Amino acid sequence: MKVAVFGAAGWLGRAFLANAAGRHEIRACDIGPEAWDAWKNIDGEWTEGEKAYGDIISSEVVDQALEGVDGVVHMILYSSDQVSSQDAATDKFLLVYLRGLWNVLDGAQQRGIKRVVHVGSCQTIHKDGTFFTSAVRRPDASLYAVCKRLQEEMCRQFYEAYGLSTIVLRPDYIVDTRIELGRQREKLGTVGTG
């Protein structure tokens, strides 16, 4: 199966690429070649498939990335560190998370792609001690939390309106047991010892 992976150069993306090696034909999509630099010292240069670059807020960029694929994995993480003003950071954040996913879902629907995986985000356990379900929302109202919830609703809407089969994953803190590191590059301890 040929899969377009949005956010391929990120923490989760590069681990997905390592796992998919030899099993799927990959089009690794990210903002630009510099996106690969953050984890190059961990995984080296990725050369197992095709790379596509561009901003996910452009429907043309997304449409080109989706050409000829059978499935989509959407795992974009946006950091506003490089934006100078708070308003500009908020605008870009909304565009990447909401317009970007809209472009992916709409493009998949337009092209008849029936397999979409979207990676959301959620704490594992609610402050009241309840596990999160699709009906239980995150307790915070940060811009990130609200955008992630809206992304889930967008996926649901595309399923209900068009039958676009979408799996939404809601991880909490992602670690890579393959290399025994957490997202902040911290070394994982051995489970069950001590």
The reply to whether 188 falls in a domain is no
pLDDT of residue 84: 63
The reply to whether 150 falls in a domain is yes
Band (pLDDT 50/70/90 cuts) for residue 120 is: confident
The reply to whether 189 falls in a domain is no
The reply to whether 32 falls in a domain is yes
Band (pLDDT 50/70/90 cuts) for residue 193 is: very low
**Measured CA angle at 117 (ends 112, 123), to 5 deg:** 150
The reply to whether 167 falls in a domain is yes
The reply to whether 187 falls in a domain is no
CATH no. for residue 35?
Answer: 3.40.50.720
pLDDT of residue 166: 93
Task: Judge whether residue 50 has pLDDT over 50.
Answer: yes
Q: What is the pLDDT of residues 155-182, one digit of tens each?
A: 999 999 999 999 998 887 788 888 888 8
Residue 6 — φ and ψ, nearest 5°?
A: -90, 130
Sheet with 25-30, side-by-side order of all strands: 50-53, 25-30, 2-6, 71-74, 115-119, 166-169
Task: Judge whether residue 138 has pLDDT over 90.
Answer: no
Task: Judge whether residue 184 has pLDDT over 50.
Answer: yes
Q: Could you tell me how far CA 147 lies from the centroid of its own chain?
A: 13
What is the Cα–Cα distance from 38 to 111, expressed in whole angstroms?
32
Task: Judge whether residue 37 has pLDDT over 90.
Answer: yes
- Domain residues for 95? 2-182
Q: What is the pLDDT of residues 80-116, one digit of tens each?
A: 665 567 787 889 889 999 999 999 999 999 999 999 9
Nearest C-alpha neighbor of 73 from the set 174, 167, 183: 167
Task: Judge whether residue 125 has pLDDT over 70.
Answer: no
Number of structural domains in the chain:
1
The reply to whether 191 falls in a domain is no
The reply to whether 117 falls in a domain is yes
pLDDT of residue 155: 96
Residue 179 — φ and ψ, nearest 5°?
A: -115, 5
